[in-house]
Amino acid sequence: MPAQPAHQRILLKLSGEALMGDDAFGINRATIVRMVQEVAEVVNMGVEVAVVIGGGNIFRGVAGGSVGMDRATADYMGMLATVMNALALADAMDKQGLIARVMSAINIEQVVEPYIRPKALQYLEEGKVVIFAAGTGNPFFTTDTAAALRGAEIGAQMVLKATKVDGVYSADPQKDPTAERYTRISFDEAMSRNLGIMDATAFALCRDQKLPIKVFSIFKHGALKRVVLGEDEGTLVYA
């Protein structure tokens, strides 16, 4: 009998940088295809998946010209970068046999749907992957905050923060080989140790909503499936 998923609805937070692979900026096609295959595996298990994606990989290509730019203007540019990434991710998902819907917090109706919560919930219940683009639609808020907000809105059981490292460590594991990976850590402990798992606004929202966060490596084959099955993968941050 196949293992049953421990989580039926998840919010996956992907950084834009995760899509770069070994490239300096932009989207590495092989990397995005491999990530989509990981997502498809859990969707085929019956898990409802929503995604919030960052835009750092696209914005990095124009960052040199943004020096001295007004913060709100730069943030709106970043929101547009997340829309580009969301469209690329949806295209890759469609090619892998998944049905993806992109919903944007800013209105670009000729390109993507506006974010409407009941519609997003309907899509999830129908087995579609919903990709939330443009962050919260407001400057000064990160896509981490968007992940926490959308996760709470859709009733996700967990926010999965996909990173390049396989969890939260007591120190930088690349600099300190004795650094310890936490299997579990409370929100209060993480804050007292200043671990910087998410930005402060996102972290506080997850803590207040008692929405657990799982930090894991999206580059580790099969890690997403193991997280969904409730296995010992990555680090669980809990209330």
Q: Which residues are annotated as a binding site for ATP?
A: 13-16, 56, 60, 163, 169, 172
What is the length of the chain? 239
Residue stretches of the annotated binding site for UMP:
55, 75, 136-143
Return phi, psi of residue 150, to 5°.
Answer: -65, -35
Report CA 30 to chain centroid distance, whole Å: 19
Residue stretches of the annotated binding site:
13-16, 55-56, 60, 75, 136-143, 163, 169, 172
Q: 35 Cβ partners below 8 Å, 6+ apart?
A: 14, 18, 19, 218
Determine the Cα–Cα distance for residues 165 and 234; give it in Å rounded to an integer. Answer: 9
Contact between 95 and 117 (Cβ < 8 Å): no
* Token pair 């993968």 in the structure block, residue: 233
Determine the Cα–Cα distance for residues 196 and 175; give it in Å rounded to an integer. Answer: 17
